[in-house]
Amino acid sequence: MKNANFLSNYEIKETIGKGTFSIVKLGINKITNEKVAIKILKKKKIKKKIHKLKNNIKKQIIFQKKTYINLNQFLTSFKKQPH
């Protein structure tokens, strides 16, 4: 695994930050002692959010199509009426 190999070069320390989709840990390079921030993404939360966004977009597209059809029908029927 590429990530596991990369992380083996670092000592993972305490959490230094949190967000909706990730946490940030302090990492220290085992060779150089350089301190870095390591962001760990919560894939499940990201996938759930993407799924919700896709569903919302689909609903909006369906609503827009229905609105367009209704408006089109209205305009068509309006044009057919004698003035």
Quickly state the pLDDT bin for 19 (edges 50, 70, 90).
confident
Q: What percent of the chain has pLDDT over 90?
A: 31
pTM of full prediction above 0.75:
no
The fold of 2-41 is Phosphorylase Kinase; domain 1 (3.30.200)
Name the nearest CA neighbour of 4 among 34, 44, 40: 40
Mean pLDDT of 64-74: 68
Mean pLDDT of 30-41: 93
At residue 55, the pLDDT reads 82
The domain segmentation of the chain, as residue ranges, is 2-41, 43-83
- For the chain, helix, strand, coil in percent to 5 are 55, 30, 20
